[in-house]
Amino acid sequence: MIVTLTANPSIDRTATLERPLTRGDVHRVTSVTVEPGGKGINVARVAHYAGHPVRAILPAGPSDPILQGLDALRVPYRIVPLLEAVRTNLTLTEPDGTTTKINEPGPSLDADTVERLAHLLVLESERADWVVLSGSLPPGVPADWYAGLVRALRPWGCKIAVDTSDAPLLALADQFPPAAPDLLKPNSEELAQLTGADPETLEAAAAAGDPSACVDAARSLVARGVGAVMATLGAAGAVLVTADGAWHAAPPPITLRSTVGAGDSSVAGYVLAETRGLNAPDRLRLAVAYGSAAASLAGTALPHPEQLNTAAVTITDVG
């Protein structure tokens, strides 16, 4: 089973614009979608669509609309009750796929709610092959919470993936190696946050066919105890680095419609591949196929297995 934690879930409202966004102008939309979101929930949705047992953990009131959305999708979940409503995030998608996100901070969690979430997560981890900690932390949650959760989960034998940014990411790295996860999924900006590299240089070099700077940056994290670093690089694909080697994946050709959920879909693809016993290059292949499929879908739609183009992902051994 794959267990995901989303401490700051959201109702994701996505509006597709009929023309490029212009500040201060009046715009009309061609479509609007509303779905349960948050990075961990997205991972759970993708794994559920693939037929893998999942459990999404989140704070939410029993009558919160996000739970109605999860029920409609038949995604299993467990909650820690919350009095305030889950936040609503707005995404504006332009015709060329350019995505603008406007995210609310989310309701503040008190110390008791934070402790109950951690307790529930540890209980669920007893039956989990993977636990995925994803997304931002809401107000009231200490920046080093993910680091503490990784340490608390480690004795239970499950594998742990972390996908976060900014203060929680830096706090996690400050506690490597005891808090080093089995999978860390940064994008180019987050990889730069961790290693001091320039994010534009990392992505531009990879797009030009030279992912060595990304590999070197990721390898420095593996040297600090991270099991695998999968750095997603947008149209340049992704790099996977483990103690055994490094690989670059070039994505299949797609028409970009929305980047919402692409990174989460990549995490789900990697974890699904690992549960199937695939080797590192094929784990990366499935991850990039899932991320690309998500980017080809409009709004907040997430991919099903039949929408993948795995054969068109090109894997290169780079170290």
Instruction: Please list the active-site residues.
Output: 264
Angle at 203 between CA 199 and CA 204, to 5 degrees: 110
**Rounded Cα distance, 226 and 207, in Å:** 25
SS3 113: helix
Residue 84 CA, chain-centre distance (Å), reads 24
Residue 25 CA, chain-centre distance (Å), reads 32
Q: Does residue 107 contact residue 88 with C-beta atoms inside 8 Å?
A: no
Q: Does residue 309 contact residue 269 with C-beta atoms inside 8 Å?
A: no
Cβ contacts of 194 within 8 Å, gap of 6 or more? 169, 170, 173, 186, 217, 221
Q: For residue 100, what are its two tokens? A: 């603008």
Question: What's at 150, amino acid-wise?
Answer: V
